[in-house]
Amino acid sequence: MNVKDTEQFPKRKKVLNSYFEYILKYNFLKFTALVILLGITIMFIQQNKYISIKEYEINLTSLNDNESAILIKKENFQYDIVFNDTVPQFHKIMQEECNNVPATLRFDCHPEDGASELSCKNRGCCWNSFNKNISVINHVLLNIPYCYYPSNWSIYKYTNFSKEENNFSGFLKGIKNSFYENDLPLIKIEASTVDDSILRIKIYDPLKKRYEPPWPLRTDFKPFSQKDINAKYKLNIDYTKPGFKVYRTLDDTVIFDSSNAGGFIFADQFLQISTLLPSHNIYGIGEHRTKLKLNTNWQLFTLFNKDQPPTENANLYGSHPFYFVIENSGKSHGFLFLNSNAMDVILQPTPAITFRTIGGIFDMYFFLGPTPAAVIKQYSDIIGKPFLPPYWSLGFHLCRFGSYIFIFNDLDYMDKNNDFTYNLNKFKNLPQFVNEIHSVGISGSEESGTYLPYDEGVKKDIFIKDEATNQPFVGKVWNLVSTVWPDFTNPKTQNYYLQMMSNMYSNFTYDGVWIDMNEPSNFYDGYKNGCPKNKLDYPKYIPNVIGNILAKKTLCMNAKHYLGVHYDLHNTYGISQAIAMNYALTNIRQKRPFIISRSTWVGHGHYAGHWTGDVYSSWHDLKMSIPAILLMNFYQIPMIGADICGFDGNTTTTLCNRWMQLGAFYPFSRNHNSDDTIEQDPVAMGDLVIKSSKRALTIRYWLLPYLYTLFFRAHKFGETVARPLFFEYSNDSTTYDIDTQFLWGSCLMIIPVLEENKTEVSAYLPRGLWYNFYTKESVFALGKYYTMNAPLDTIPLMIRGGFILPAQKPDNTTTNSRKNNFELLITLDHVNQAKGELYWDDGDSLDSLEKKQFVWSVFFIKNNTLSTAKVTESSFHEEVILDKIQIWGIISNISRVSLNNHEIQFKYNIKENCLNIKNLQIDLRENFFLSWEYARFEQDNDNNK
Ligand SMILES: *[C@@H]1O[C@H](CO)[C@@H](O)[C@H](O)[C@H]1NC(C)=O
Ligand SMILES: *[C@@H]1O[C@H](CO)[C@@H](O)[C@H](O)[C@H]1NC(C)=O
Ligand SMILES: *[C@@H]1O[C@H](CO)[C@@H](O)[C@H](O)[C@H]1NC(C)=O
Ligand SMILES: *[C@@H]1O[C@H](CO)[C@@H](O)[C@H](O)[C@H]1NC(C)=O
Ligand SMILES: CC(=O)N[C@H]1CO[C@H](CO)[C@@H](O)[C@@H]1O
């Protein structure tokens, strides 16, 4: 849920264009003062309205808050303006340095409102409005800057640079001031590495420690060595400019170049770095509602965690300052700007990107790929790999915000009547209840001695505090009167939380927790009466946050945490809570914790999952859920789903029907809606929705072992679970912006219908052999769009040739499904090979991997033989029985099948080209091999044709 206050889109930066806007912007008193100063000027303006307004608007609007100006009258109504310039350094620029900057290479030198020629030139920047040709680009969210950095703008220069083998570091010395206060006079730049594929460059204050986030827990870094011959990167510094370049050694592609992109600034509350990008294929910079592939046409993304229903161009619940690029060669690299402050990220058609933050340091990581999947894996090496989920969490969840809040996963209820849905008695004994922590806050207004969480918190002194009084910071969320917030950066909070969660557990043995409102959300903008004037809440530059103030629906930025101020810690509140919750649940239940959290930050997926928040019941939201889910997989939060059928607003039968089908393939599959909307569980939606939900969810439950194996691989290797086509086909550029279809792992393609009443869908099939999941028909695709049938009760699915998927006969719950025998679905590729794997354990133990209590086998087919091999030695206490195998794509008759050299029964379906073998009773804890022979007679017949 969210704070229900509809908000406008953020105010866009603007250039003050008229005298009247100027009057509107500055308060009247100030204006009156100016009027007196200008005296005769006003008369002049009145007399010669048009021209003089046109002229003066520029100079008047150029004043910033801390500047003043005096007009000196000269002859014939000519005036000189004398500035009392509090900016110490005037930058001198040459016109030619401005003229040679093409429009796409303009980096914005005046991101605040009110840019004018004078304020721009005061920063040493170029001012130039556009000719018609340029300004006709319509619908740009961020205009092409009028005020931009000249080609050689720089306020730092390198000193003392050392390039010794084991020491690549240097200093930048300030030579001028930026417009932003408190520029750092001296900064240090330092390079280190993690391995051949990960380079880290840190730019920080060597004299005074500035805030650096404590998460993710860092691995050890080695000093960078330019002579490391294995390194996939090279670093190059041109000492004449304060930037650097990172190259991919293999093909000399420049993957980062900050020396030729304007405006490097390191002031106390304004840090900015830009780089040229090698291509327009860029992904990431979450959490935002966007297409999968980002638009580089002057796009602005703001990162500041906010209780904000997903809409385009808004800062949402999480912050992930990470992107990756597919270069023109098909190779990929990634970049993480590890900084937790509020920031703007700007993409422009150069192509180039700018990171502009208001605190912390520059801590930058480069991931050399060279495939998108390799970039994500390298990223996971730095931020931590996803948690291994309990098996039950992969089931279908149904819940509703209202008087009862619970989640269960049971397909069976669809066969019964609707009353069962909310009949607590029926589900009382299922283990799948999840506790929703409704608001993260603790009520701060119960009578002393009556509310343990508050009393204990005060006693232990673990709440976030007010800057002035040192008392708990009091706001309001769902609690009746007031709310205070635990400070999860205080080491004492972990045990406090453990105690509170244990108390709750003794009443109600929950299995998982769902944390909402932890951006953290507040019904007030800071306090009831806002935030007191202070430099953290009102910095000179405020990123383009919804609501235009940082404290909008959250805490004041000067609120105190154990580790620092809310200004620095806001974006990490959610992850700090997820870490504490993960610790509490692990200790209380001694089983794998399952946590879903709305607020996220870098590395969140190691502790918890996420859902995409308060989506609306609309076709647009259905469609946009796909990029949202794929993007979270990039951030290594594979446990992700959108509220199926939509959370806010009333759903419709046609929408909910298609959404249940798609939602069956969300890694986290949950139907959830608001309390003020119509019921939308499948049963309430009627026969069509029941039918298609059962159909799609039965496939999900059948494939749960495959899904679980994908989650295991994410946990172990930093892979994605749901992924876009280009992860598997990164050399096929047509796949780069496909986000209306996606894959589970390498081979199951999901092609949802995203338009009302459509019963056909056009889907791109990359080159290779593909099988229709329902009909087993195969097509050797040529890398083009195909039209698929999509009856109302069916979601089109395709399986790529060459794969082996573990499955299990589905049952009504995950617990029951787990007890059934296993099956293998095998699709041969064009050379009759296939591969796949199964990871299996008890689904709930904390230490299955450490204790080697699992089965992990790979399967492969070659020369008409299916063989298995264990990946590592392990044991497992239960039988893991493989009962059934189906092999698709066998195009001639089979005469004989043998298992470990013993002949066995089989069925060959000549119409479906499918070999079926049943009643196998193979225990997958043992290796086996199964081979088949083609009927000679059939083959001869074929040959004679
Ligand atoms: C400039 O402004 C400051 C602060 O308002 C004032 O103290 C100073 O006298 C002014 N200087 C001139 C030259 O007007
Ligand atoms: C547990 O239940 C009892 C009785 O309903 C109630 O008084 C108490 O507040 C509950 N404790 C927690 C931690 O929910
Ligand atoms: C949803 O439907 C209910 C019942 O028909 C109605 O009362 C409510 O106003 C609707 N809500 C919206 C947002 O349309
Ligand atoms: C889809 O079909 C439903 C039911 O027949 C109808 O109410 C709705 O208007 C149709 N929508 C579109 C976009 O055709
Ligand atoms: C009327 C007036 O003084 N206009 C000035 C505004 O500022 C620009 C740039 O400094 C001058 O060129 C104009 O003459």
* Residues 248, 102 share a domain: no
Instruction: Return the C-alpha torsion angle 419, 421, 427, 428, nearest 10.
Output: -70
- Mean pLDDT of the region 364-378: 97
**CA atoms within 13 Å, Cβ hemisphere of 367:** 25
Neighbour-count burial for 598-629, b at 16+ CB within 10 Å, e otherwise: bbbbbbbbbbbbbbbbbbbbebebbbbbbbbb
- Mean pLDDT of the region 580-594: 96
Residue 845 counted as domain residue:
no
- Among 689, 756, 758, 759, name the best residue to mutate to test ligand 4's pocket (greatest count of ligand atoms within 8 A of Cβ): 756
| pLDDT for residue 420 is more than 60 | no
454 in the Ramachandran plot: left (φ > 0), alpha (ψ -120 to 50) or beta? alpha
Task: Answer whether 425 contacts ligand 2 (Cβ < 6 A).
Answer: no
| pLDDT for residue 394 is more than 90 | yes
The count of domains in the chain is: 3
Task: Answer whether 44 contacts ligand 5 (Cβ < 6 A).
Answer: no
| pLDDT for residue 500 is more than 70 | yes
Q: What pLDDT is recorded for position 117?
A: 80
| pLDDT for residue 434 is more than 60 | no
Task: Answer whether 756 contacts ligand 4 (Cβ < 6 A).
Answer: yes
- Looking at this protein, which amino acid is placed at residue 651? T
Q: Of the residues 370, 391, 418, which one is the last residue of a structural domain?
A: 370
- Mean pLDDT of the region 293-305: 95
- Mean pLDDT of the region 563-581: 97
Q: What pLDDT is recorded for position 427?
A: 47
* Residues 121, 12 share a domain: yes
Q: What distance in Å separates the CA atoms of residue 668 and residue 648, rounded to the nearest whole number?
A: 19
* Residues 117, 187 share a domain: no
* Active-site hit among 57, 190, 519, 739: 519
- Among 616, 621, 650, 655, name the best residue to mutate to test ligand 3's pocket (greatest count of ligand atoms within 8 A of Cβ): 650
* Active-site hit among 183, 327, 516, 681: 516
Contacts 24+ apart (CB under 8 A), 863-867: 863/931, 864/832, 864/931, 864/932, 864/933, 864/934, 865/929, 865/930, 865/931, 865/932, 866/804, 866/824, 866/826, 866/929, 866/930, 866/931, 867/927, 867/928, 867/929
Task: Answer whether 59 contacts ligand 5 (Cβ < 6 A).
Answer: yes
Give the distance (Å) from ligand 4 centre to CA of residue 672: 24
Give the distance (Å) from ligand 3 centre to CA of residue 651: 10
Task: Answer whether 654 contacts ligand 4 (Cβ < 6 A).
Answer: yes
* Residues 323, 258 share a domain: yes
Give the distance (Å) from ligand 3 centre to CA of residue 792: 25
Choose the weakest-confidence range: 232-246, 534-548, 657-671: 232-246
* Residues 221, 326 share a domain: yes
Q: What distance in Å separates the CA atoms of residue 810 and residue 833, rounded to the nearest whole number?
A: 27
Residue 836 counted as domain residue:
no
Q: What distance in Å separates the CA atoms of residue 15 and residue 850, rounded to the nearest whole number?
A: 60
Q: What pLDDT is recorded for position 461?
A: 96
Give the distance (Å) from ligand 5 centre to CA of residue 116: 11
Output the residue whose Cα is nearest ligand 2's atom 6: 507
Domain span at residue 496 reads 430-507+511-593
Residue 786, strand partner residues: 763
Choose the weakest-confidence range: 407-421, 821-835, 858-872: 407-421
* Residues 185, 243 share a domain: yes
Task: Answer whether 79 contacts ligand 5 (Cβ < 6 A).
Answer: yes
Give the distance (Å) from ligand 5 centre to CA of residue 55: 7
**CA atoms within 13 Å, Cβ hemisphere of 907:** 11
Give the distance (Å) from ligand 3 centre to CA of residue 650: 6
Count of beta carbons in the 10 Å neighbourhood of residue 668: 25
DSSP alpha helix (H) spans, 384-515 = 424-427, 452-460, 491-507
Task: Answer whether 452 contacts ligand 2 (Cβ < 6 A).
Answer: no
Task: Answer whether 261 contacts ligand 5 (Cβ < 6 A).
Answer: no
Give the distance (Å) from ligand 3 centre to CA of residue 938: 64
Task: Answer whether 692 contacts ligand 4 (Cβ < 6 A).
Answer: no
Q: What pLDDT is recorded for position 507?
A: 78
Q: What pLDDT is recorded for position 813?
A: 84
Q: Counting ligands in written order, which one lies closest to the CA of residue 619?
A: 4
The band of 159, judged by pLDDT with boundaries at 50, 70 and 90, is: confident
Give the distance (Å) from ligand 5 centre to CA of residue 930: 87
Output the residue whose Cα is nearest ligand 2's atom 7: 507
Q: What pLDDT is recorded for position 605?
A: 98
Choose the weakest-confidence range: 52-66, 294-308, 715-729: 52-66
Q: Of the residues 123, 148, 173, which one is the last residue of a structural domain?
A: 148
**Can you tell me which atom of ligand 5 is nearest the CA of 56?**
1
Beta strands 907-909 and 914-917, pairing class: antiparallel
CATH of the domain at 581: 3.20.20.80
Beta strands 643-644 and 669-673, pairing class: parallel
**Can you tell me which atom of ligand 3 is nearest the CA of 649?**
13
* Residues 302, 166 share a domain: yes
The band of 939, judged by pLDDT with boundaries at 50, 70 and 90, is: very low
Give the distance (Å) from ligand 4 centre to CA of residue 673: 23
Q: What distance in Å separates the CA atoms of residue 223 and residue 450, rounded to the nearest whole number?
A: 56
* Residues 238, 131 share a domain: no
Task: Answer whether 55 contacts ligand 5 (Cβ < 6 A).
Answer: yes
Task: Answer whether 676 contacts ligand 4 (Cβ < 6 A).
Answer: no
* Residues 366, 224 share a domain: yes
Q: What distance in Å separates the CA atoms of residue 685 and residue 687, rounded to the nearest whole number?
A: 7
**Can you tell me which atom of ligand 5 is nearest the CA of 117?**
9
Q: Is the model more confident about 750 or about 99?
A: 750
Q: What pLDDT is recorded for position 162?
A: 65
438 three-state secondary structure: coil
Task: Answer whether 69 contacts ligand 5 (Cβ < 6 A).
Answer: no
| pLDDT for residue 358 is more than 50 | yes
Q: What distance in Å separates the CA atoms of residue 811 and residue 799, rounded to the nearest whole number?
A: 23
How confident is the model over 222-260, as pLDDT tens digits? Answer: 877 777 778 899 888 877 778 899 999 999 999 999 988
Residue 914 counted as domain residue:
no
Q: What pLDDT is recorded for position 139?
A: 33
Beta strands 881-888 and 914-917, pairing class: antiparallel
Residue 643 counted as domain residue:
no
Altogether, the residues listed in the chain come to a count of: 945
Q: Is the model more confident about 565 or about 403?
A: 565
Q: What pLDDT is recorded for position 118?
A: 82
User: For all residues of the chain together, what is the average pLDDT?
Assistant: 85
- Among 507, 509, 510, name the best residue to mutate to test ligand 2's pocket (greatest count of ligand atoms within 8 A of Cβ): 507
Residues in the ligand 3 pocket, defined by CB under 6 Å = 649-650, 677-678
- Mean pLDDT of the region 472-486: 87
**Can you tell me which atom of ligand 4 is nearest the CA of 756?**
13
- Mean pLDDT of the region 292-296: 96
Model pTM score:
0.87
Output the residue whose Cα is nearest ligand 4's atom 7: 654
Residue 869, strand partner residues: 858
Q: What distance in Å separates the CA atoms of residue 497 and residue 580, rounded to the nearest whole number?
A: 7
Residue 459 neighbours by CB under 8 Å, 6+ apart: none
* Residues 310, 261 share a domain: yes
| pLDDT for residue 568 is more than 60 | yes
Q: What pLDDT is recorded for position 411?
A: 55
Residue 251 counted as domain residue:
yes
Residue 700 counted as domain residue:
no
- Looking at this protein, which amino acid is placed at residue 649? G
Count of beta carbons in the 10 Å neighbourhood of residue 758: 13
The band of 221, judged by pLDDT with boundaries at 50, 70 and 90, is: confident
Tokens of 285: 């910079």
What Cα–Cα distance (Å) separates residue 226 from each residue in 52, 370, 867? Answer: 60, 20, 46
CATH of the domain at 225: 2.60.40.1760
Task: Answer whether 506 contacts ligand 2 (Cβ < 6 A).
Answer: no
Choose the weakest-confidence range: 332-336, 391-395, 638-642, 729-733: 391-395
Give the distance (Å) from ligand 4 centre to CA of residue 693: 20
Q: Of the residues 119, 148, 177, which one is the last residue of a structural domain?
A: 148
Task: Answer whether 504 contacts ligand 2 (Cβ < 6 A).
Answer: yes
Q: What pLDDT is recorded for position 83?
A: 46
Instruction: Return the C-alpha torsion angle 696, 701, 704, 706, nearest 10.
Output: -50
* Residues 473, 453 share a domain: yes
- Segment holding 699, helix H or strand E: helix 687-702
Output the residue whose Cα is nearest ligand 5's atom 10: 118
Task: Answer whether 534 contacts ligand 5 (Cβ < 6 A).
Answer: no
| pLDDT for residue 518 is more than 90 | yes
Highest mean pLDDT among 74-88, 156-170, 731-745: 731-745
Q: Which residues in 134-232 belong to E strands, given as ranges?
A: 147-148, 156-164, 167-174, 186-195, 198-204, 222-223
Q: What distance in Å separates the CA atoms of residue 910 and residue 943, rounded to the nearest whole number?
A: 17
Give the distance (Å) from ligand 3 centre to CA of residue 620: 19
Residue 223 in contact with residue 192, Cβ under 8 Å? Answer: yes
Sole residue written with tokens 């039988």: 879
Task: Answer whether 811 contacts ligand 5 (Cβ < 6 A).
Answer: no
* Residues 141, 49 share a domain: yes
What Cα–Cα distance (Å) separates residue 158 from each residue in 202, 627, 658? Answer: 15, 42, 59
Residue 226 in contact with residue 163, Cβ under 8 Å? Answer: yes
Backbone angles phi, psi at 254, to 5 degrees: -85, 115
Residue 538 counted as domain residue:
yes
- Mean pLDDT of the region 162-182: 78
Percentage of the chain with pLDDT > 90?
Answer: 67
Question: Of 588, 597, 423, which Cα lies nearest the Cα of 510?
Answer: 588
Q: What pLDDT is recorded for position 72?
A: 41
- Mean pLDDT of the region 78-99: 52
Residue 706 neighbours by CB under 8 Å, 6+ apart: 744, 745, 748, 805, 806, 807
Residue 479 in contact with residue 445, Cβ under 8 Å? Answer: yes
Is 516 a known active-site residue?
A: yes
Question: Of 491, 701, 513, which Cα lies nearest the Cα of 576?
Answer: 491
Q: What pLDDT is recorded for position 440?
A: 56
Backbone angles phi, psi at 99, to 5 degrees: -65, -30
Residue 80 counted as domain residue:
yes
The band of 75, judged by pLDDT with boundaries at 50, 70 and 90, is: very low
Question: Of 850, 381, 290, which Cα lies nearest the Cα of 603?
Answer: 381
